[in-house]
Amino acid sequence: MVFGLLRILDCLATFDQEARSVKISDAIPNVPVTNQFGKTVLFRDAFVNDDTALVINSVYTTCKGSCPVTSAAIEQLRKTLSPIFGKSLKFLSFTVEPLSDTPDVLMSYAEIFGADKLRPELSDWLFLNANPVDTDTLRRSLGLFDLNPRIDADVSEHASLLVVGNVKTDRWCSLPAELRQLTLVESIRRVAGFTFEQRYGIPQDL
């Protein structure tokens, strides 16, 4: 009964998304970004495609408040979700202090959380740097800004949110990084999952 209801709701959500002519992800700009390994790519070309689900957040390496907590949460999410998603899920952390958080600085920060290497058994976690104008464009396209200009201008006030999305299904949401790990895992699976089993942990043929 419950499994059947989940399948019906899942199909209805998919039908609604397929009916849209404009996707939520269409607003994401194709700005150049450089990761902690020194490789520069265009954001849309590299990450916004039907084969990849995304967990995106903003960060800065000198943050003493929410950033270390959020990064630690992502480190655990990566370990938990990698067996489920493999390389079809990417974690993207872009700096909101691009002038000081160079790729080398981001690499040192990434090393603290086990993201200094691309590991075959883990979903990729990339720390990204863009120029200040492109950084602002990117964060606004993802909804990572405050309506109050004074608060928005203060980098220490940036929201500790995880933006989760699946381009193919056009499912997107924002989650407070402080939520319980189990709640984050289940919420990310619902939104980012490509298959019924990835979304609900239930084999399709049951």
CA distances (Å), origin 38, targets 25, 33, 130, 170: 26, 10, 12, 30
Residue 33 corresponds to which tokens in the numbers above?
Answer: 């970004």
- 107 burial class (0-12, 13-18, 19+ CB within 10 angstroms)? middle
173 is in an annotated binding site: no
**Which residue carries 């990450």 as its tokens?**
47
Q: Can you say which residues are annotated as belonging to the binding site for Cu cation?
A: 63, 67
Q: Can you say which residues are annotated as belonging to the binding site?
A: 63, 67
